[in-house]
A and B are shown apart, each in its own frame.
Chain A
Amino acid sequence: SQQGEEDPQALSIQEGENATMNCSYKTSINNLQWYRQNSGRGLVHLILIRSNEREKHSGRLRVTLDTSKKSSSLLITASRAADTASYFCATDQGGSEKLVFGKGTKLTVNP
């Protein structure tokens, strides 16, 4: 079963706008990660946030984590057409040796 559930399933915005994606999970975690996948290709790691962190930045990306609500959000600021991709959150289920991925948010950035 899926650990992470992303919301929304699909998001369409204009270039320059901000995009926010949310992820909820069910069990305790050591860390939560976000990945990007361009159409039918391998996943690219974006950012990792540990359970004792609340917010993390990387370039135009901002990730927040609320362990009390078991949720995370990914914000992409000043989006570009090249940001068009599917975005997945992944959790480690309390330190197990496997990552469990959600079904992803499909982001379309229109030029």
Chain B
Amino acid sequence: KAGVTQTPRYLIKTRGQQVTLSCSPISGHRSVSWYQQTPGQGLQFLFEYFSETQRNKGNFPGRFSGRQFSNSRSEMNVSTLELGDSALYLCASSLAIGGNIETQYFGPGTRLLVL
């Protein structure tokens, strides 16, 4: 089985722009979670989608949004970019049998640099 894929791998944007990141989960996985990783704050949970529904959301401003499609692929969008949004954005998928998340399989991440 192919692993979790994320596109693009690297991205440079300027303040005020918006960005869309894409994640394709492992085939058959219904849960997709997004995380932001920075040296200062570590790994922080953004949101989780299961069967096209957002089930949980972290403490991020409304500029951060996401969605999941019927094929379980997910996108996250960040509008009005700020310098502090520079980070590694990680996507993870899980089988979520019975709706419960256990092992998560991570993609390689998208490294976003905001200038």
A interface residues, Cβ below 8 angstroms from B: 2, 30-31, 33, 35, 40-45, 48, 88, 90, 92, 95-104
B99 nearest CB across to chain A (Å):
7
Q: Does B25 contact A (CB under 8 A)?
A: no
Mask, B99-115, CB within 8 Å of A = 1, is 11111111111010000
A-B contact pairs, 19 of them (CB 8 A): A2-B42, A31-B102, A33-B103, A40-B109, A40-B111, A43-B90, A43-B92, A43-B106, A48-B103, A90-B104, A97-B31, A97-B55, A97-B56, A97-B99, A97-B100, A98-B33, A98-B45, A104-B42, A104-B43
Chain B CB within 10 A, most for which of A31, A45, A88, A97 = A97
B interface residues, Cβ below 8 angstroms from A: 4, 31, 33, 35, 42-43, 45, 48, 50, 55-56, 58, 88, 90, 92, 96, 99-109, 111
With known contacts A41-B109, A42-B90, A42-B108, A97–B43 Cβ distance under 8 A? no
The list of the 5 closest CB pairs from A to B, nearest first, reads A42-B106, A101-B43, A103-B42, A43-B106, A97-B55
Tell me if A's interface is mostly helix, strand, loop or mixed: loop
Q: With the chains together, A45 CA to B103 CA distance in Å?
A: 7
Task: Collect the chain A residues with CB atoms within 8 Å of residue B105's CB.
Answer: 45
Q: Among A40, A41, A88, A99, which residue has its beta carbon within 8 angstroms of that of B101?
A: A99
